Structure 1
Amino acid sequence: MIPIRLLIIILFSGAVYGNPLDTINSTFSRKEILELAKEASSLLHESNFEKSFITSRLVLRYALTNNDNDLIARSYNIIGANYEELSEYDKAILYYKKGLVYANKAKNDTIKNWINNNLGNLYCFEKKEYKKGIAFFNESLRFNQKNKDTSQIVFTKLNIAWAYFDIKLFKEGIPYLEFVNNNSAKYGDKSNLVILNMLNGMYSGNIQNYAKAEFFFLKAIELGIKNQNHLDLSFSYNEYSSYLFKKGDFKRAYEYLVKYNKLTVEIQNSQNIKRAKRVGINVELDEYKRKVDTISAANNLQNQSLKKSKIIVVLFIVVIGILLLQMYTLYKNYLFKKKANNVLTLTNAELIIAKEKADEASLLKSQFLSTITHELRTPLYGVVGITNMLLEEHKELENSPHLNSLKFSARYLLSLINDVLQINKIEENRIVLEDLTFNIGDEIEMIITSLSFIAKNHNNTIDVDLDPEIPEFLIGDKLRFSQILINLISNALKFTHDGKVIIRSKLVKVEGIKHYIEFKIKDTGIGIAKEDQEKVFETFTQVGRKDLDYQGTGLGLPIVKKLLGLFESTIFIESVLGEGTTFMFVIPFDSNPEKTNDIINDIEVDLSNSQVFTVLVVDDNSINRLVTQKIIEKRNYKCVVVGSGKEAIELVENSSFDAILMDINMPEMNGFEATKIIRAMGVLTPIIALTAYSKEEITEQALSVGINDIIVKPFETAILFKIINQLIFKA
């Protein structure tokens, strides 16, 4: 039933709008036809597309009858402009180019200017083919300059500036905008003020002149609302929303994006546009009718016996049928695209909100981890330090189960903090593998020594089987490699009692300097059920506790898997309940003797001697001051302690020190501020940040204020004195 209804509409519109055209006097003068063309153009500017189509169709018919190239070009230009307003851009381009052909025949530079400008608009802002569009604008500008039409020059340069700004080429577009700003008051059209203010807002926002950007955008919106210039107002809403989003004002950006979407839907649903689309079909019917007339004339010359009227009627009905089918298809496509665009618009808005929430959640998570780890490490430093002091000062307590339990618990809690930070860094891609020279045998030996306490408690033995084909020195990130082995070996020892843990390494292949080494960590422990073997690599997941309580957070194996991902490697598991578990992976390390020698030569050597140094300790926590002071004085160094950054500055003014240990998180004046003032005084004494913050969090800021190095609490005493000595001798 739908095609029949459409046919009725077509025939009806032909009766209403078609017959009067046939009855109008065909001897219209050129002046009368020109007046009709002006009327069609005026109706177009008033958005009365229905009447503009009818009038321009009348102009085209009589212009063709009179063979007036100038008027034909004008009528095609108006018809193309109507289609452009109806968002039928391909049809608009077709009629503009037809008009350009006749304008060239008429040698009318003014119409050439109009059509080139219109084609520039279409290709730039609708087809997004900016190179082609700007070429049309420049052609239009050439005719304007030839005609010395300053008002048209202003209009065209406004369009060129807009085109460049649309593709973020502000440097290329600003000369055109400056010309428009200088000449708009005298030669410009008031209807273009909305876009002019919008472009000034876009440029001001680009150069971060936010006050001007706000002024121009709001001025554009005010003018658009006042003059009811809905299309330009919608552009201003959209660009202002984009500016606010880049500036970080997400709430207002969303509000103006909603206004833009609402106004765009209103424009698209305009009843005038719907009616004008139906009338616009008559223009296309005229085009098809002219083609039919041409075909009929050729047939008449070939065969005079053919009946002209019947052939024309049959062909006309065929054309109407084809056009009807095409119109139906286009209408269905239009409805589908409109629905899809609405869905996409809503989805994009939801995605923007979701992304903002995700970014905010990620930032809050990082801030939370930073704060909580700092607050935990500060008292842990005191606990570990005082425990060590008690064990050193009271040798009779060396075997005390209470003190040893306290020390173990503190180190376990520190390990937990490090695991949480480690997995967060990996997830945020903040870990970059380093190239260091190391010996696999030495690394495994150190790991076994550090885990001997667990092995002894569980009555386990550890066997090591190293492939002699593995080069003595390898190049790679030995710290991450050690973390992988520590997690796997400690897990094997923890879940094995009265058993054995075997560590095997084998060189499996060599490609250039790359040596691919397979590692196997095998134990004779409780094993892992088949259904649980994938779960063990999930964060905070623990399996196999059953009747026994195995300490752990469920982070060890997930960290191993993620670290191996940095090495572009994968971990495999083989396990049988009650018999044990084997973990396997392959890591490629470089082996390059020349590069190894260079790395070894670059390693800083501890140049410490028996000389006594004076160290200033700055820390607001009295327990931490006591612990650090005891550690330093035990090395026979002199130590001065203060509790604030201000006290440190006063001391440095009147005394000299060999090194300064600076806490970062202090009230009133933090370590960064104190260091900056000390450096401003011209003091070059090495300053070491002794902090509970993660090193990656403060490195950039520390270097910027003049801090020489960073040590994270709790720390190894040997590392502290190594860094102190190196910095002192370097100074």
Structure 2
Amino acid sequence: MTKQACDYLDETNYEKSLKKSGIALHYAFNLKNDTLIARNYNIIGINFHDLGEVDKAAFFYKKALFYAERSNIVSLRMMITSNLGNLYFFEKKMYNVGITYYKESLKFGKQQKYLKEIAITNLNIVWSYFKIENYKEGFPYLKYINEHQNDLKGRSNDIALNFLNGMYWSNENDNEKADKYFLKAVSFSHSEDEIQDLSYAHLEYSKFLAKIGKHDQAYSHLLTYNQITQQIYNDEKLKKAAVAGFNLELNEYKRQIDKIENEKSMQYQSLKKSRIIVVLFVLISFILLFLIITLVKNIRYKKEHNLELLRAKEMAEEASLLKTQFISTISHELRTPLYGVVGITNMLLEEHKELSRSQHLSSLKFSARYLLSLVNDLLQINKIEENKVVLENLTFNISDEITMIKNSLSFLSQKNNNKITIEIDPNIPEYLIGDKLRLAQVLMNLVSNALKFTKDGEVEIIIKLSKVEGKLHYLDFLIKDNGVGIATVDQGKIFEKFVQVGRKEEDYQGTGLGLSIVKRLLGLFGSTISLESDIGEGTAFSFIIPFEHDPLKTKKIIEEIEVDLTSDEIYKILIVEDNHINQLVTRKIIEKNNYICHVVDDGFGALKILEDEKFDLILMDINMPLMNGFETTKRIRLQGISTPVVALTAFDKDEITDEAISSGINDIIIKPFEPVKLFKIMNYLIKEAEKVDLL
């Protein structure tokens, strides 16, 4: 029926076309076929368009477009959008709107299978531009159609293409070409489906002939145009078409009314359900009200009994805060003198080589290091409990790390006459990526623990490659000793804080934090620790940690490491420090690397000397009397001094980072520190400052 409606439309039999498309539309709605609904609405729109019923045509075109978008048939959407373009351009004289519709139609069809629709739309755009005598804008589209004539696939469009070419060459004053195209257009005179385009061809040819002075011929073609137009739009045909169109409109209104009635029926059913829901809602509301009253009574009762718990919670939180503050304060107060002890010990060993074998000096150094380790353990356990520890990605060689741990613990192994043996799987890659510092801390705790509880024995460090998954290499660590061992009843306690399992005749040193830290750090790695031990049989701790192996990433990390800490230039450093022993230690370390040092006792001294002298870098203590390091740095920045400032402090880095950044401090070094790390940061900051000065 849709095909028959199309055929009647081509024959300009509007009455039959409207009737057929109306019946087809009825069936299409029953079938819920969006494509057929869109096609028939489009046919009805074209009928009204041809009959001059512009508003009705627009109404049906837009309905057609709605269903075409639902069906997602691109060629159909292109056709309907193009028809809307014709309507707005030629009938409503809304030229810009019409051309916009045409161009929107072109957007849909950029695929090979829509070449016919693209060609027809281009033809409509040309006709539109030529209609308003904008030949320049229309020519590119005409050129496209001339190059793709085969895509039109219909003589009706050939008529239009020929007279449009005639119009263009007429405007270009090439009368010979124009006449050739017009004659070709009017030569197609016997087909019903192209009769309308033929009428336009005679009209445009008449205008051209009049323009070149051939008035008789122009009049003849104008008469032909009128005859064809009368043939298309005779009164009887129009009257029948109007009746068919009226009936179609009635059907459309009936469809809308049926839709409204259906919606009304659904609303009525919904209302019935709503009444039931309301009744249920009221019943549920009463039940909820009863439950709320009961709940309020329970809350009041619990509130009275929870006041004590609330007070206890507040006291616990206050105690936790006090604990954190105490640990922070005590660690600072211990690190400050330790910095002096470690620094002066190192100075004595460097300046008096003959003392390097002194048992007393070695003991002093070991005691200072041991005390520093204790402070770090306290801080470490506190940070882990507060979830402040984040694992880092550093490149490292596992053999180097184990050797360093062995050397660090050589004094302890000699003290108890123990031997440390190392066995590393050769299949482990040379370089791995992971948090080597936390790993070293785990191994240091376990190995030092083994050495303390073993005498005249052996501590083994065995590392094997467990498995490989992608870039992850799983290392299986085993720390084994043949010492006193741990009783089965005590094995569940040793990973708790401050717990030391008693050994009958021995007095072992330690805080009881080492194994607790080990367990918590392994938890950050996503690992767990296993223990095998018995009294007199020794102890074995084992765990597995995955590390990444990525040669490219490793190379990048290694390349980013600054290794050259020497400088040909002599830099001028200002040390701001209130502790005289620490002044001496820091100065000695700095001057040893050929730097020039000036030392002041407080922040006011720093501000005063900076008025007269310029420095390459400032080492700033934080905890000073009168004015602390943060306030001093702020005042330095307010004076417009951009000299890099490094905080040299005994505070934990995490506690002061935010305030340090806001005050203008560039970096932080914690006392005691490794001189290599200090010089690396100093050199970097001085060179960066020089680059800024050059800019």
TM range (shorter): 0.5 to 0.7
Q: Structure 2 CA distance, aligned partners of 1:337 and 1:390? A: 75
Q: Paired residue for 1:656, among 584, 602, 614?
A: 614
* CA contact 1:607–1:726 (8 Å) conserved in 2: no
**Other-structure match for 1:727:** 685
Gaps of 5+ in 1: 1-328
**Other-structure match for 2:600:** 642
Q: Paired residue for 2:573, among 589, 592, 615?
A: 615
Give the alignment's Cα RMSD to 1 decimal. Answer: 2.3
Q: Structure 2 CA distance, aligned partners of 1:510 and 1:347? A: 56
Q: CA deviation at 1:485?
A: 0.6
652-661 vs 542-551, which deviates more?
542-551
1:541 aligns with 2:499: yes
* CA contact 1:605–1:726 (8 Å) conserved in 2: no
Alignment of 1:90-239 (within 5 A): none
**Other-structure match for 1:687:** 645
1:367 aligns with 2:325: yes
1:724 to 1:332, Cα distance in 2 relative to 1, 3 A? closer
AA partner of residue 452 (structure 1): S
**Other-structure match for 2:150:** none
Q: Paired residue for 1:562, among 514, 520, 540?
A: 520
667-676 vs 505-514, which deviates more?
505-514
1:491 aligns with 2:449: yes
1:669 aligns with 2:636: no
Q: Deviations over 1:40-69 (max 9, x none)?
A: xxxxxxxxxxxxxxxxxxxxxxxxxxxxxx
* CA contact 2:458–2:481 (8 Å) conserved in 1: yes
* CA contact 1:606–1:725 (8 Å) conserved in 2: no
**Other-structure match for 1:377:** 335
Q: CA deviation at 1:480?
A: 0.7
Q: CA deviation at 1:357?
A: 2.5
AA partner of residue 700 (structure 1): D
Q: Structure 2 CA distance, aligned partners of 1:624 and 1:533? A: 44
**Other-structure match for 1:416:** 374
Q: Paired residue for 1:582, among 540, 544, 553?
A: 540
**Other-structure match for 1:633:** 591
**Other-structure match for 1:470:** 428
Q: Structure 2 CA distance, aligned partners of 1:704 and 1:334? A: 51
Aligned residues: 405
Q: Structure 1 CA distance, aligned partners of 2:292 and 2:348? A: 83
1:654 to 1:570, Cα distance in 2 relative to 1, 3 A? same
Q: CA deviation at 1:592?
A: 2.1
* CA contact 2:565–2:679 (8 Å) conserved in 1: no
Q: Structure 1 CA distance, aligned partners of 2:433 and 2:572? A: 38
Q: CA deviation at 1:362?
A: 1.8
Q: CA deviation at 1:544?
A: 4.1
AA partner of residue 516 (structure 1): Y
Q: CA deviation at 1:402?
A: 2.6
* CA contact 1:614–1:639 (8 Å) conserved in 2: yes
Q: CA deviation at 1:470?
A: 1.8
Q: CA deviation at 1:331?
A: 12
Q: CA deviation at 1:497?
A: 1.4
1:347 to 1:473, Cα distance in 2 relative to 1, 3 A? farther
Match of 2:421, SS?
strand
Q: Structure 1 CA distance, aligned partners of 2:363 and 2:565? A: 36
Q: Structure 2 CA distance, aligned partners of 1:333 and 1:618? A: 68
Q: CA deviation at 1:722?
A: 2.0
Q: Structure 1 CA distance, aligned partners of 2:288 and 2:636? A: 75
1:525 aligns with 2:483: yes
Q: Structure 2 CA distance, aligned partners of 1:391 and 1:602? A: 33
Match of 1:398, SS?
helix
1:658 to 1:335, Cα distance in 2 relative to 1, 3 A? closer
* CA contact 1:607–1:729 (8 Å) conserved in 2: no
* CA contact 2:565–2:676 (8 Å) conserved in 1: no
1:597 aligns with 2:555: yes
Q: Deviations over 1:199-255 (max 9, x none)?
A: xxxxxxxxxxxxxxxxxxxxxxxxxxxxxxxxxxxxxxxxxxxxxxxxxxxxxxxxx
1:402 to 1:702, Cα distance in 2 relative to 1, 3 A? same
Q: CA deviation at 1:477?
A: 1.0
Q: Structure 1 CA distance, aligned partners of 2:552 and 2:310? A: 52
1:581 to 1:336, Cα distance in 2 relative to 1, 3 A? same
* CA contact 1:467–1:507 (8 Å) conserved in 2: yes
1:398 to 1:607, Cα distance in 2 relative to 1, 3 A? closer
Q: Deviations over 1:275-316 (max 9, x none)?
A: xxxxxxxxxxxxxxxxxxxxxxxxxxxxxxxxxxxxxxxxxx
1:330 to 1:541, Cα distance in 2 relative to 1, 3 A? closer
Q: Paired residue for 2:345, among 341, 365, 387?
A: 387
1:399 aligns with 2:357: yes
* CA contact 2:571–2:595 (8 Å) conserved in 1: yes
**Other-structure match for 1:141:** none
Q: CA deviation at 1:602?
A: 2.9
Q: Structure 2 CA distance, aligned partners of 1:639 and 1:450? A: 32
Match of 1:616, SS?
strand
Q: Deviations over 1:92-135 (max 9, x none)?
A: xxxxxxxxxxxxxxxxxxxxxxxxxxxxxxxxxxxxxxxxxxxx
1:726 to 1:346, Cα distance in 2 relative to 1, 3 A? same
Match of 2:357, SS?
coil
Q: Structure 2 CA distance, aligned partners of 1:473 and 1:544? A: 41
AA partner of residue 682 (structure 2): I
**Other-structure match for 1:425:** 383
Q: Deviations over 1:3-31 (max 9, x none)?
A: xxxxxxxxxxxxxxxxxxxxxxxxxxxxx
* CA contact 1:615–1:637 (8 Å) conserved in 2: yes
Q: Structure 2 CA distance, aligned partners of 1:391 and 1:524? A: 35
Match of 1:465, SS?
strand
Q: Structure 1 CA distance, aligned partners of 2:565 and 2:602? A: 31
Q: CA deviation at 1:340?
A: 2.8
1:348 to 1:636, Cα distance in 2 relative to 1, 3 A? same
Q: Structure 2 CA distance, aligned partners of 1:382 and 1:645? A: 21
AA partner of residue 488 (structure 1): L
1:454 aligns with 2:401: no
Q: Structure 1 CA distance, aligned partners of 2:288 and 2:588? A: 86
Q: CA deviation at 1:666?
A: 0.6
Q: Structure 1 CA distance, aligned partners of 2:377 and 2:399? A: 25
Q: CA deviation at 1:384?
A: 1.7
Q: Deviations over 1:163-185 (max 9, x none)?
A: xxxxxxxxxxxxxxxxxxxxxxx
Q: Structure 2 CA distance, aligned partners of 1:483 and 1:358? A: 30
* CA contact 1:606–1:726 (8 Å) conserved in 2: no
1:553 aligns with 2:514: no
Q: CA deviation at 1:596?
A: 2.2
* CA contact 1:522–1:581 (8 Å) conserved in 2: yes
Gaps of 5+ in 2: 1-286, 690-695
1:454 to 1:339, Cα distance in 2 relative to 1, 3 A? same
Q: CA deviation at 1:423?
A: 0.2
1:572 aligns with 2:522: no
Match of 2:566, SS?
coil
